[in-house]
Chain A
Amino acid sequence: MSTHEITLTVNDTEEELTVESRTLLVHALRDQLGYTGPKIGCETSKCGACTVTLDGDAVKACTVLAVQTDGSEVTTVEGLADGDDLDPIQESFHEEHALQCGYCTPGMVMTTRQLLEDDPDPDAEEIRHQLKGNICRCTGYQNIVNAVESAADKTEGAAESTDDAEAESPPAKADGGEARSDDETPHAEDDGR
């Protein structure tokens, strides 16, 4: 049996592991390294549940061999949040109820990341086109599209408000401080799954 020692960086952590030639990236991530964010759906590139980022590109981790990723950087959905602070895309999926069972969500989020990198202000048709490789069997597509639009607004809005803040910083800060105070009830225990 042919095995290989590989080193890859997952969510900024360097990982060393031994894989068989035939080990798929999704199995190495989940079974050997414990990154269970990428889900196993079809294992044949159809459903997108296992989508991760490989050296900056969204890929389906079921059709990449682990051995091919030696020396690469992989980002899984676990790499997006900063502690309890969700990434804007995750936040939008949460706010827009863009998940029912949640199984497709990591893949949807990772694909959305690339989508917004390529086109920060996509229309609904473009969003649907770019999410074609991700299947939601709860068929919650409408809310997913809404979430991506909302995430795009946030990232666009963030860029704009940064500009604004630079132009007229004192008033903007005063308003922001008040609005934030009653929003600080994190639901960390909620997140059982």
Chain B
Amino acid sequence: MKPAPFEYHRPTTVAEATDLLAEHGDAELLAGNQSLGIVMANRLATPDHLIDLNTVDDLAFVEEREESVAIGAMTRHRTIERSDLLTEKLPMLPEAAEQIAGPSVRNRGTLGGSIGEADPAGNYPAALVALDATLEIVSADEEREVPVSDYFIAYMFTDLAEDELIAAADIPTDPFPPERTGMAFLELKPAAQTWPTVSAATAVRVDDPDADEPVVEEARLALANAADVPLRVEDAEAAVEGESLSEDALEAVAEAATAAADPEDEMHADSEFKVEVAGEYARRSLAASYDRATNIETDFDAPTDH
């Protein structure tokens, strides 16, 4: 089973790539080829032109900025998984990356590919929504920045125009000083090469990690595959903010996540089951984030392995 024929282009700069996009309206961008390759092998996509971004070195980087970390679109899962900077500043991202498929796929797949594909079950879309990232988008004519909350519009439908490419994601670090922050990316997945059934991306910042009862100053929760876009659940965040984490607050998190979730049925998980998992994984993931943010012993049922 081979892809249908196409013209292959190998630009080496972003400008060359965007010029090619402008020239060929029906072109697809080729990133890690771990999803597009499969879609094309099944002839579900038959683009006439493929623009390979693997030789655009300027798109592969992890860079510390003043109050953020920027990740280039062609940064591979393996790089994100092993980045010391991300492990220190935004540990949700390495944890999300290391759970994607197996190592051979992580050697090829990229951040930009995942965001471009915009499958609501994807790991990075949910993580970036939880972390309030901004996408840097480029075309031959302009550069613009789009908050991820505006980028994901509907199922695999985004704000990206035909002639644009994603250059990078900029992720704020100032809300989350590492010494009093915990993050978690928890997913339920039946097999390595499948999309997760539901995932919960969470972050928690406390006032004082050494206090007897550290107070949650800020919480984040985004769910993957619980709706047609990655789903931020602000009601759940509000339920835990302003107090020390309690079983009651976690119960409220689960209820808010359950109420917000509106997933489609799929072959191995009907909608009802996914809603239930959304609530439970929201609860567990937030408990794990709180546990990681604090230096106290917590006894919430919060599995941190996967």
List residues of chain A with CB under 8 Å of any chain B CB.
1-2, 4, 20-24, 27, 43-46, 48, 51, 57-60, 62-65, 67-68, 111, 114-115, 118, 130-134
Q: B50 to A63, Cβ gap below 8 A?
A: no
Q: A24 touches which one: B2, B8, B107 (CB < 8 A)?
A: B2
Q: A60 to B6, Cβ gap below 8 A?
A: no
Q: B38 to A2, Cβ gap below 8 A?
A: no
| Least CB distance, A169 to chain B, in whole angstroms | 38
Q: Chain B contacts of A130 at CB under 8 A?
A: 102-103
Q: A60 touches which one: B1, B10, B30, B105 (CB < 8 A)?
A: B105
Q: B3 to A133, Cβ gap below 8 A?
A: no
Q: B7 touches which one: A21, A68, A133 (CB < 8 A)?
A: A21
Q: A48 to B102, Cβ gap below 8 A?
A: yes
Q: Chain A contacts of B105 at CB under 8 A?
A: 45, 60, 63, 133
List residues of chain B with CB under 8 Å of any chain A CB.
1-8, 10, 30, 33-34, 37-38, 40-42, 50, 52, 54, 78, 101-105, 107-108, 191-193
Taking A43-B41, A45-B34, A63-B33 as contacts, is the C-beta distance between A22 and B104 under 8 angstroms?
no
Q: Chain A contacts of B37 at CB under 8 A?
A: 24, 45, 62-65
Which 10 residue pairs across A and B have the least CB separation, nearest first?
A133-B102, A132-B192, A21-B8, A63-B37, A57-B107, A46-B193, A22-B3, A44-B38, A132-B102, A58-B104
Q: A22 touches which one: B6, B10, B101 (CB < 8 A)?
A: B6
Taking A2-B5, A23-B2, A27-B2 as contacts, is the C-beta distance between A45 and B103 under 8 angstroms?
no
Alpha-carbon distance between A131 and B2 when the two chains are bound, in angstroms: 26
Q: A64 touches which one: B7, B8, B102, B108 (CB < 8 A)?
A: B108
Q: Chain B contacts of A21 at CB under 8 A?
A: 5-8, 50
Q: A58 to B8, Cβ gap below 8 A?
A: no
Q: A1-B5, A21-B50, A115-B103 are in contact. List 7 more A-B contacts (CB 8 A).
A: A22-B2, A22-B4, A43-B1, A58-B104, A63-B33, A63-B38, A65-B33
Q: Chain B contacts of A62 at CB under 8 A?
A: 37, 41
Q: A133 touches which one: B1, B4, B103 (CB < 8 A)?
A: B103
Alpha-carbon distance between A3 and B29 when the two chains are bound, in angstroms: 19
Alpha-carbon distance between A155 and B8 when the two chains are bound, in angstroms: 42
Q: B38 to A22, Cβ gap below 8 A?
A: no
Q: A45 to B5, Cβ gap below 8 A?
A: no
| Least CB distance, A120 to chain B, in whole angstroms | 15
CB nearest neighbor in B for A135: B193
CB nearest neighbor in B for A107: B104
Alpha-carbon distance between A95 and B78 when the two chains are bound, in angstroms: 32
Q: B101 to A133, Cβ gap below 8 A?
A: yes
Q: A68 to B52, Cβ gap below 8 A?
A: yes
Question: Which of A1, A43, A111 has the most chain B CB within a 10 Å cutoff?
Answer: A43
Alpha-carbon distance between A58 and B191 when the two chains are bound, in angstroms: 20
A-B contact pairs, 17 of them (CB 8 A): A21-B50, A22-B6, A22-B40, A24-B2, A45-B37, A51-B104, A57-B104, A58-B103, A60-B108, A62-B41, A65-B37, A67-B8, A68-B33, A68-B54, A111-B103, A132-B191, A133-B101
Q: A131 to B5, Cβ gap below 8 A?
A: no
Q: B33 to A2, Cβ gap below 8 A?
A: no
Q: Chain B contacts of A4 at CB under 8 A?
A: 8
Alpha-carbon distance between A37 and B243 when the two chains are bound, in angstroms: 59
Alpha-carbon distance between A20 and B3 when the two chains are bound, in angstroms: 11
Alpha-carbon distance between A27 and B30 when the two chains are bound, in angstroms: 19
Q: A2 to B8, Cβ gap below 8 A?
A: yes
Alpha-carbon distance between A64 and B103 when the two chains are bound, in angstroms: 15
| Least CB distance, A158 to chain B, in whole angstroms | 23
Taking A44-B42, A45-B34, A68-B54 as contacts, is the C-beta distance between A59 and B1 under 8 angstroms?
no
CB nearest neighbor in B for A125: B305
Q: Chain B contacts of A58 at CB under 8 A?
A: 103-104, 107
| Least CB distance, A149 to chain B, in whole angstroms | 17
Alpha-carbon distance between A130 and B105 when the two chains are bound, in angstroms: 11
| Least CB distance, A131 to chain B, in whole angstroms | 7
Alpha-carbon distance between A27 and B41 when the two chains are bound, in angstroms: 13
Alpha-carbon distance between A43 and B102 when the two chains are bound, in angstroms: 15
Q: B8 to A132, Cβ gap below 8 A?
A: no
